[in-house]
Amino acid sequence: MDQVAKSFGSVSALKSISLQLEAGQLLGLFGHNGAGKTTSIKLILGLLSPDDGQVRVFGQQPDHGDFLNQRAKIGFLQENVSFYDQLTGEEVLRYFAKLKKRSKKECMPLLEQLGLAHAAKRRVAGYSKGMRQRLGLAQALLGEPKLLLLDEPTVGLDPLATREFYQTLNQLKHQGCSVILCSHVLPGVEQYIDRAIILGQGEMLASGDMKELRHQADLPVQLDVTANQLQLSDYLQQHLSHQSGNHYQFKAPLTDKLKLNQQLSQLSSIEDFHWHLPSLEDLYNHFCNRSAS
């Protein structure tokens, strides 16, 4: 996407957004409700055309007729997926396989991969929320996609299924599949994404990998220490942000991490310590609050 803008009447959904995704990369697209995530996905799918700027997928304009034969290379899971409830899971997947011109032989292995083989012959009407979500993922994975667009993919999945889902994404990444993942669920996501983009009111508030985002945000690093009677140096005294009993909390700029570590190593009587680097959630809050103020 190169300087893409899109409005709906007086609502400016996206304002000059540029982003590039390489083969095998997983990009997290984050933002509040109405930030412009779904609009971005619809532009990439070619369901919408930009008012300004350019969108290219596999080197072609996705809203052009001649992109149709490329669509089979894209897997898409929308938010709040719904199916024909009277069909069985296997029938639903075969239906999507036919739409994508894929062999029905792909269906059962995918249902097995997503832990739905036992329910393949059951009607979708009786599926739980998590089972429907897994079926949605199965249809997105049909045909070994080269680009996967996932809108809130882990909603309704239990922790084990969520971990398995990310393992599947990792395998696909290694096969060269690129992934764009939109989510409101930030905890736990950061270990899987290569890069993140934070959108706010249609604007790009921040973009980069975790290291770059931490650098841009310049949030402090936090060190929690449990110790009996610490003799604090001037430096540690200056950076002591909280103390309660034998629990000490220090905060310092990220660039001071090594210095803090050195000071820590000189202390005796430490029972335990724990580092907290700014998490994706901390960074998200920081960039959103900064844009609101």
Ligand X SMILES: Nc1ncnc2c1ncn2[C@@H]1O[C@H](COP(=O)(O)OP(=O)(O)OP(=O)(O)O)[C@@H](O)[C@H]1O
Is 153 a binder of ligand X (CB under 6 A)? no
Query: DSSP H helical segments within 175-242, as ranges?
Result: 210-217, 234-239
To the nearest whole angstrom, how small is the minimum distance from the Cβ of residue 256 to ligand X? 36
Q: Which is nearer to ligand X, 48 or 107 (CB)?
A: 48
Contact string 21-60 vs ligand X (x = CB under 6 A): ----------x-xxxxxxx---------------------
In whole angstroms, what is the distance from residue 38 CA to residue 149 CA? 10
29 token code pair: 């697209």
228 token code pair: 């009996």
In the chain, the largest separation of any two C-alpha atoms, in whole Å, equals 72
Q: Which is nearer to ligand X, 38 or 88 (CB)?
A: 38
DSSP bridge pairs for 82: none
Contact of 217 with 272, CB cutoff 8 Å: no
187 token code pair: 């905890």
Tell me how many residues contact ligand X (CB under 6 A): 11
Give the type of residue at 66.
D
To the nearest whole angstrom, how small is the minimum distance from the Cβ of residue 288 to ligand X? 12
Contact of 178 with 9, CB cutoff 8 Å: no
In whole angstroms, what is the distance from residue 76 CA to residue 137 CA? 8
Contact string 229-268 vs ligand X (x = CB under 6 A): ----------------------------------------
In whole angstroms, what is the distance from residue 220 CA to residue 236 CA? 14
Q: Which is nearer to ligand X, 43 or 169 (CB)?
A: 43
To the nearest whole angstrom, how small is the minimum distance from the Cβ of residue 8 to ligand X? 3
Instruction: Name the helix (H) or strand (E) containing 95.
Output: helix 89-99
In whole angstroms, what is the distance from residue 174 CA to residue 171 CA? 5
Give the type of residue at 124.
V
Q: Which is nearer to ligand X, 13 or 213 (CB)?
A: 13
19 token code pair: 């982003």
Query: What 3-state class would DSSP assign to 113?
Result: helix
In whole angstroms, what is the distance from residue 154 CA to residue 81 CA? 12
Instruction: Name the helix (H) or strand (E) containing 133.
Output: helix 129-141
Q: Which is nearer to ligand X, 17 or 236 (CB)?
A: 17
What is the number of H-type helices and E-type strands within the chain?
9, 13
To the nearest whole angstrom, how small is the minimum distance from the Cβ of residue 7 to ligand X? 8
To the nearest whole angstrom, how small is the minimum distance from the Cβ of residue 173 to ligand X? 23
Q: Which is nearer to ligand X, 29 or 110 (CB)?
A: 29
Q: Which is nearer to ligand X, 198 or 225 (CB)?
A: 198
Q: Which is nearer to ligand X, 62 or 143 (CB)?
A: 62
To the nearest whole angstrom, how small is the minimum distance from the Cβ of residue 123 to ligand X? 29
* Eight-state DSSP code of residue 119: G
To the nearest whole angstrom, how small is the minimum distance from the Cβ of residue 34 to ligand X? 4
To the nearest whole angstrom, how small is the minimum distance from the Cβ of residue 132 to ligand X? 18
Contact string 6-25 vs ligand X (x = CB under 6 A): --x--x-x------------
Instruction: Summarize as ranges the residues that interact with ligand X (CB under 6 A).
Output: 8, 11, 13, 31, 33-39
